[in-house]
Chains A and B, each alone.
Chain A
């Protein structure tokens, strides 16, 4: 038996075990597909940086073996005739696609509770959400079904579930990874990100999928990131900024304790820790919830039942009836809410007050980061989330409470800067994530710091 087949067989057992516990990390996977890919790779004598690695793929990323539903009924059964550039690069690197992972519908949500196919469970505590929207990918890695997975971010959808599940999630610089084949939500914010059981595995996966792609006009004209170097022995000469806006009065005590401990470890490693300010942070959530829904309202217009996906005929009175019925049945409540919100902020008479203003504020948020990084700061350290993983149903009745769980993560999407989350401890058994935010194209720096911090903190230890 070849290494590829052994890897596929073992992965099938681990995925089956994960799903048998009711994790529901996957929307689609099969042992047959794993074996078929392994045979193909073995026959081709595949080698490459990810040879034989089994990688789970979030269902908003186009892939041809399984449907690409985006967690939505409106794309139920949709098989993409093409694969995302990131998936193609995975395959070229010798990896096996494990299957498609669950997510909030069209990546809109922070818990997977808005998946049309039911939520995933947090492997650490199955009464709690795994976070979202890339909750299925995070749960698959946390449950040990796979060692790495692709997710996507529009406003923290990789880092937040990574924090909730106690794993590592990286959101690269906007343009670092091609968006070709990533089903669009908020195009100016969307970026494919990676999950790993540790910093090195998430970084290895990022190295493989990064790099210029002529199919994405917003793709950065840079060579792919290299594989991560070994963890540095210390962080002498490294300046870590601590933005005070991310440590508000009344911050969750466990989050605060974990962050303080991580900062102490960074100092122990020789880093200089410096207080900084990002004054426009308070506008990030409202700005995000104008920009992202606006772009979403346009990006999701194509799901009209005319060319693909299930069509509800609405009595076929006219084409508008078909649109209404198809979209009314096909989209869930959160997607409908955001389409309405986005349509509103782009409407004649409201555009200047909302969308244009949001663009200006976004510039100010970007300038905050640029200014801090121009002052010699190499990375910012913040908590990833304001609370540990919440329980099912805790926030679904209150969209604003759900939106606020993204308060520390959505700034990096608005500013296009790279950021990652790594586990920094536990509070009452629940994982806590620490966030490192880098300057534009500063992935290598935050990965290096994360590797050092990862070795210096006991992420499984209670923080208080």
Chain B
């Protein structure tokens, strides 16, 4: 039987706020355990939550970026469960009336081309603390620095049809959320976390069969591997006639396998109810309009505009819009008065400049400084080849001009005709035999002669000028 996979994702994203969701503690990652804590995020008796406006702003910005309807009135709710790293015994979240619903995100599927992933809802909540089961033998250690860090949860509809699509959607989602500076989406540091729901059905069917939840995936490739393993497990179980039982599966990255969570750990009744410590979250028309207005250009819009403005292909725009910073660089660089075509600008950025970046997220030079190098190449003072070395060196020498760096590296070309003519004359005098053979028709000797002139110039001559000068001298 041919099976189709149906996947929906729940993505938790930590918001880039300086402080926590309901108190003034720092939300910084990596500080010594239990140093960013207070009565509120420790859930001490009598402490009360007060919402962080910046967290609300970032959630709303994410919602707009994902095309959601943002609700002017939403309700915080308590999600009740016991766990040592959950200090109040409940998590403040949103349930029946989330801040946003009904969005969409388009991404490119390897199998199906452009796919629209429908976003069911986006809501605000606070993070729990972190339990460490391996630090103290026989004990669990708890760090509450993360307790109360603001999160959004983005719940999608089951619109994905393969593990590869899950990965592609996540990559696109991460790009959008980073573009609008809502989150750094770092899976290793836990600022983006993914839970998946997966079921299978006969290809061509539209039913939704029993699904399982897959957790504990720590990277995008982990998501793809885990979902592949779960899909195979479900297909095998179904084909052997066992069927799929609703369960929560944990991915083990080391073995690449999924195993069911112990039943004790699931089947929770969270007893959601409206959080009585917080009034409804009311967003005024004016505030929402200002946030909508302030939304930066999104990657898809940017790609379309770049393709049109700079006459480059869709694939090509993707390279220079990978991050907001790269896109900003590209646009500034391409519109400088250097006379390069859009395609040539793209070549410089994609081939010469992006390779200087360690993380691929920013170009470590300003567009102006990069353009200085372009000018040197255009004037013949620098070879296209040597330009790359100059650019690399400029990253470490922010005070120096491109010319100064090129001079220090001895890469400035001589295109001054009088000097080149001297080297040409000397070369022709030293190689009368080759000159004669060239004149007798051995055209390929031109290359040899150019090489000899370059050698005599110690590589500093502009090869274009040498070619022209040699051709003129040989024609005489």
Question: Which residues of A are at the interface with B, using a C-beta cutoff of 8 A?
Answer: 61-62, 68, 70, 75, 78, 80-82, 84, 179-184, 186-188, 214-218, 294-295, 297-298, 300-302, 304, 306-308, 319-320, 323, 343, 346-348, 351, 355
Contact = CB atoms under 8 A, between A and B. Distances in A.
Contacts of B276: 186-188, 218, 295
Nearest to B269: A348
Nearest to B39: A82
Contacts of A294: 273
A62 B40 CA distance: 13
B88 A217 contact: no
B51 A217 contact: yes
B261 to A, nearest CB: 15
Nearest to A218: B279
B84 interface: yes
Given A294-B273, A347-B271, A351-B273, A307 B48 contact: no
Contacts of A62: 45-46
B273 A298 contact: yes
A70 B277 contact: no
A180 B44 CA distance: 11
Contact of B46 (A84, A218, A301): A84
Contacts of B44: 80-82, 308
Contacts of B80: 297-298, 301, 346
A295 B277 CA distance: 10
Given A302-B88, A323-B82, A180 B279 contact: no
B90 interface: yes
Nearest to B40: A215
A188 B88 CA distance: 17
B87 A307 contact: yes
Contacts of A186: 276
A346 B95 CA distance: 14
A187 B47 contact: no
A68 to B, nearest CB: 7
Nearest to B43: A302
Contact of B277 (A75, A80, A217): A217
Interface in B64-113: 78, 80, 82-84, 87-90
B46 A217 contact: no
B75 to A, nearest CB: 12
Contact of A217 (B49, B140, B272): B49
Contacts of B278: 217-218
A203 B50 CA distance: 28
Nearest to A346: B271
A80 B47 CA distance: 10
Contact of A306 (B39, B45, B84, B269): B84
A346 B39 CA distance: 27
B45 A187 contact: no
15 contacts: A62-B46, A80-B45, A183-B46, A214-B50, A217-B51, A294-B273, A295-B273, A298-B90, A298-B271, A300-B89, A301-B88, A319-B82, A319-B84, A346-B271, A355-B273
Contacts of A295: 273, 276
Contacts of B49: 217
Nearest to B42: A307
A356 to B, nearest CB: 9
Contacts of B140: 319
Given A62-B46, A298-B89, A304 B82 contact: yes
A297 B82 CA distance: 12
Contacts of B39: 80-82
A325 B360 CA distance: 54
A80 B83 CA distance: 23
Contacts of B42: 307
A186 B273 CA distance: 13
B142 interface: yes
B301 to A, nearest CB: 37
- Dominant secondary structure at the A interface: loop
- Dominant secondary structure at the B interface: loop
Question: Top 8 A-B pairs ranked by shortest CB distance?
Answer: A301-B89, A188-B276, A187-B276, A346-B271, A62-B46, A181-B46, A183-B45, A302-B43
Given A184-B277, A355-B273, 15 more contacts: A70-B45, A82-B39, A181-B46, A184-B45, A214-B50, A217-B50, A297-B80, A298-B78, A298-B271, A301-B82, A302-B45, A302-B88, A320-B82, A347-B271, A351-B271
A153 to B, nearest CB: 15
A217 B280 CA distance: 10
A297 B272 CA distance: 12
Contacts of B82: 301, 304, 319-320, 323
Contact of B48 (A68, A70, A215): A215
Nearest to B142: A306
B100 to A, nearest CB: 21
A314 to B, nearest CB: 13
Contact of A343 (B43, B84, B87, B271): B271
A180 B22 CA distance: 13
A181 B78 CA distance: 20
B458 to A, nearest CB: 73
A70 B45 CA distance: 10
Contacts of A300: 89
A323 B82 CA distance: 9
A217 B84 contact: no
Nearest to B264: A320
A369 to B, nearest CB: 19
A75 B82 CA distance: 18
A184 B271 contact: no
Contacts of A343: 271
Nearest to A63: B46
A70 to B, nearest CB: 7
Contacts of A80: 39, 44-46
A66 to B, nearest CB: 14
A80 B279 CA distance: 26
Nearest to B78: A298
Contacts of A70: 45
A215 B50 contact: yes
A179 B277 CA distance: 9
B276 to A, nearest CB: 4
A287 B83 CA distance: 30
Contact of A304 (B46, B89, B269): B89
Contacts of A319: 82-84, 140
A75 B271 contact: no
A62 B50 CA distance: 18
A6 B43 CA distance: 39
A218 B271 contact: no
A301 B277 contact: no
A116 to B, nearest CB: 15
A58 to B, nearest CB: 12
Contacts of A323: 82
Among A81, A184, A216, max chain B CB count under 10 A is at A184
Contacts of A183: 45-46
Contacts of B45: 62, 68, 70, 75, 78, 80, 183-184, 302
Contacts of B48: 179-180, 215-217
Contacts of B87: 302, 307
A182 B49 CA distance: 13
Interface string B244-274: 0000000000000000000000000101110
A80 B45 CA distance: 8
Contacts of B89: 298, 300-302, 304
A184 B46 contact: yes
A39 to B, nearest CB: 27
A359 B144 CA distance: 34
A295 B272 CA distance: 11
A214 B24 CA distance: 12
Contacts of A68: 45-46
B283 to A, nearest CB: 15
Contacts of B277: 184, 187, 217-218
B341 to A, nearest CB: 57
Nearest to A309: B45
Nearest to B90: A298
A184 B275 CA distance: 12
